[in-house]
Amino acid sequence: MKFGLIKIIAGAVMLSACSGLSDPAVDPETGDNIYANGDKWLCLPGRPDAKADACVGDWSATIINADGSATVEPFIADPNAPIDCFYVYPTVSTDLSGNSDWDVDIQETGVAAIQLARFGGVCKLYAPIYRQVTLTALASDSAGFSIDRDVPLADADVKAAWDYYLEHYNAGRGVVLLGHSQGSYRLGTLIQKHIDGQPIQNQIVGAHLLGANAPVKKDGGVGGTFETFPLCRASSEIGCFTGLVSFRETSPPPAGGYFGFAEKDDEVNACVNPAAPGGGKTPLDVLVPTRKLLGDRTARAENTIRWSEQHPTVDTNFVSLPGLISGQCLERDGASYLAVSINADPTDPRTDEISGDLVVDGELYADWGLHLLDVNLVLGDLVEMVSLQGEVYLQNVTQ
């Protein structure tokens, strides 16, 4: 099964797949790969102007304990990290066209900070801009008309960025692939066409494709979305991939919904909990972006949380809530997903709730579950998993 966009734009995927690429990722002035221009990267190690890098900053977290007390966990970046992370971001562009332009907007820089920056403690961060299918295009489908969009163009941009990264930055190092939502689909296509079964696969430390459907064989064998990439079953396993879509335990994927389902009878949607890849229910190391990091972006403005009675607001970009959230991969009614439960205690002074549901004009989109928080629900665990994978990979290459 090929990676595609979610059902809401499936028709556009099929139409645009038949069209040629009329605007490749080439600088019109020089004829070079456009990613030779450092401005086409949200995050790029060694950028002369660090202020222009979306991943450079203080990504410390305030730990809100069950008794309402708070401590700060400092973030320490590692500019000499021994492995790389190549990240493709989700659908965030509000450009009015079907595909986004090359301009770097707050939506792109913001999501890189929210989802990717914390990995800067374990890997060097590479995050290209790409001409993704926009939120405007998706909204047009829901509104009863359709704005033209070019999915192969988005795929070609990611491939061009990957080619430039390999030729000019990688230097034979191990690399982790990270994506969410549309970014996971774009990386899925990259893996299928240009990595799976090819020599470069030996440099893939792991692939973490969250917020997307990735069917795998029910019998646990390799196959489904990828021919040779298996699902990760341990935190230290390398050369494998993880995937998940998250839903509240009390609100599982509805029948006929977008996320969590596989189309073939012998397949199931991939679900790997980075906190417990082998299965079982376990606390999640949640790292929630705070209002300080979110700023006044309208998509998140409603989701302000009072963290505790003693600390209703915090001064860090992230909040950690140890013990509040647990998760486990479940298969139920044909869906496979990360079931997220809240271990609320109404008698303690800490928040008993999280945000992450998709709400538009007051309407809850149950099909999407906790899509807005897919990454942050497991961010601490995923950073730790990438760190362990990197250690094992480096041990193997030096043997």
Per residue in 119-150, pLDDT tens?
999 999 999 999 999 999 988 887 788 899 99
Per residue in 150-197, pLDDT tens?
999 999 999 999 999 999 999 999 999 999 999 999 999 999 999 999
Give the CA dihedral 277, 281, 282, 287, nearest 10 degrees. 80
The rounded distance, in Å, linking the Cα atoms of 76 and 58 is 8
Q: In this predicted structure, what is the pLDDT of residue 180?
A: 98
- For the chain, the average pLDDT equals 90
Higher pLDDT residue, 250 or 12? 250
Query: What one-character-per-residue DSSP string does 282-321 give?
Result: EE---EEE-HHHHTT-TTTGGG----BSS-SS-SSSEEE-
Q: Give the tokens for residue 221.
A: 């064998």
Query: What one-character-per-residue DSSP string does 12-66 give?
Result: HHHHHHTS--SS-SB-TTT-SBGGGSGGGEEE-TT-S-GGG-TT-S---EEEE-T
Check if the beta carbon of residue 238 is closer than 8 Å to that of residue 392: yes
DSSP 254: P
Per residue in 259-296, pLDDT tens?
999 999 999 999 999 999 999 999 999 999 998 998 75
3-state secondary structure of 157: helix
> φ, ψ for residue 125 (rounded to 5)?
-105, 125
Q: In this predicted structure, what is the pLDDT of residue 13?
A: 30
The rounded distance, in Å, linking the Cα atoms of 374 and 115 is 10
Higher pLDDT residue, 326 or 31? 326
pLDDT at 4 over 70: no
3-state secondary structure of 200: helix
Per residue in 23-45, pLDDT tens?
678 888 888 899 999 999 999 99
pLDDT at 16 over 80: no
How many angstroms from the chain centroid is the CA of residue 153?
20
The contacts of residue 177 (CB under 8 Å, 6+ apart) are 85, 86, 187, 190, 191, 204, 206, 207, 208, 209
3-state secondary structure of 242: strand
Closest alpha carbon to 259 in 335, 328, 331, 208? 335
- Write down the residue that tokens 């374990």 correspond to: 122
The contacts of residue 200 (CB under 8 Å, 6+ apart) are 166, 194
Check if the beta carbon of residue 195 is closer than 8 Å to that of residue 3: no
